Amino acid sequence: MASANVVNLTDETFESEIQKAEVPVVVDFWAEWCGPCRHFAPVFDQFATENAGKVIAAKVDVDSNQNVAAKYNIRQIPTLLWFKGGNFLGQTSAMSKDGLLKKLESL
């Protein structure tokens, strides 16, 4: 459920990928059965494609990766986590492509 410009993260790869990123990272926590997640996926994929090189767009399947979801207290999906320089900057809900871009530019 991801495009070529979206990285799939797991419990095992999450921290290392966030820490080594040289650009901001936005992580979409989702599940296959989640209707709003499926609705948001094309928006997130398009944002990732249009901003390749400026941001790392990643996804975490909460059903397969419950440890990282629990660590960041993910209670509803889709939920986005934002990171820069390896630091957690905050959490937002799914939003429009323009909203994603504005959030990215504010980091």
- Among residues 37, 43, 56, 62, the one annotated as catalytic is 37
Residues 45-56 have a mean pLDDT of: 96
pLDDT at 34: 98
Structure tokens at 10: 């797991």
Contacts of 106 (CB under 8 A, 6+ apart): none
Ordered DSSP codes for 29-74: EE-TT-HHHHHHHHHHHHHHHHTBTTBEEEEEETTT-HHHHHHTT-
pLDDT of res. 99: 97
Residue 13 bears catalytic tag: no
Domain residue spans of the chain? 6-106
80-106: pLDDT as tens digits: 999 999 999 999 999 999 999 999 999
Check if 34 is active-site: yes
Model pLDDT for residues 21-35, shown as the tens digit of each residue: 999 999 999 999 999
How large a percentage of the chain has pLDDT more than 70? 98
pLDDT of residue 2: 60
Q: Give the CATH H-level superfamily of domain 6-106.
A: Glutaredoxin (3.40.30.10)
**Active-site option among 34, 52, 89, 101:** 34
